[in-house]
Amino acid sequence: MKKTTQLYEGKAKKVFLTDESNLVIQEFKDDATAFNNKKKGTIADKGVVNNAISCKLFTLLESEGIHTHLVEKLSDRDMLCRHLDIIKVEVVVRNIAAGSLVKRYGFAEGTVLAKPIVELYLKDDDLDDPLMNESHAVALGIATLEELEVLKNRAEAINAVLKKFFADRKLKLVDFKLEFGRHNGEILLGDEISPDTCRLWDLETNEKLDKDRFRFDLGGVEDAYSEVQRRVLELD
Ligand code: TMP
Ligand code: ASP
């Protein structure tokens, strides 16, 4: 499968059309941004690591009956995907308080939530991805109420699978972000699942092994990403 026209360049990936009209290639870059582009940098080999982790996790989810855009891993940085009509909603699932939940609501970082929290954000960089509810999403014409129900249920099912998978590898799944899209009348999980889009803490030490190391200049960014890759792929 060959890349043809570049469809889009985002902060962490490029997407290319292919000679098959319903397939695209997602190319993972080493570029890293945080706080909606206010902080920029690169993380050596991040693209390779995030592609490997995402392909493994999407394959796991498929094996649990959760449909994703993954077709196959083509190379170190390239993932062959079904072409989605992206739904402009970022679905965040939280198991432990961290990040914007701590800032917005005053939770102590590390508080284990009695029940996972599912949040919806409008996917719009110009507006800084604001938090929204279902009424906002419907009023904006982004998705129907029925589709949003599917997204939330799917996000909870994905959380259950991933929480166990990471716990078996001595990682706490603190929170993560998902994106979905429409394809042939079905809603599929899209984008990526990686240390860019998840918070992952070591089960015993609570050491942060994710993009927070880059966001807050904690050092050891590359080592954290490769440690997650090692644990995710170790039982293969
Ligand atoms: P937050 O605590 O900053 O709202 O982030 C929640 C989770 O979502 C965290 O795992 C990081 C991820 N995330 C993204 O993948 N992209 C984003 O643009 C943001 C803001 C968060
Ligand atoms: N991905 C977002 C950005 O670039 C936010 C983040 O991950 O912190 O800016």
Query: Residue holding tokens 């170190």?
Result: 76
CA–CA separation, 161 vs 66, rounded Å? 10
CA–CA separation, 210 vs 52, rounded Å? 15
The residue whose CA has the least distance to atom 1 of ligand 2 is: 34
What's the 46 CA to ligand 2 centre distance in angstroms? 15
Rg (CA), the chain: 17
The residue whose CA has the least distance to atom 8 of ligand 2 is: 34
What's the 34 CA to ligand 2 centre distance in angstroms? 4
In angstroms, the Cα distances linking 147 to 70, 100, 134 are: 21, 25, 10
Residue 176 in contact with ligand 1 by CB distance below 6 A? yes
| pLDDT per residue as tens, the chain (236 positions) | 899 999 999 999 999 999 999 999 999 999 999 999 999 999 999 999 999 999 999 999 999 999 999 999 999 999 999 999 999 999 999 999 999 999 999 999 999 999 999 999 999 999 999 999 999 999 999 999 999 999 999 999 999 999 999 999 999 999 999 999 999 999 999 999 999 999 999 999 999 999 999 999 999 999 999 999 999 999 66
Q: What is the set of domains in the chain, with CATH numbers?
A: 6-82 (3.30.200.20), 85-220 (3.30.470.20)
* pTM more than 0.95: yes
Closest ligand to residue 38's CA: 2
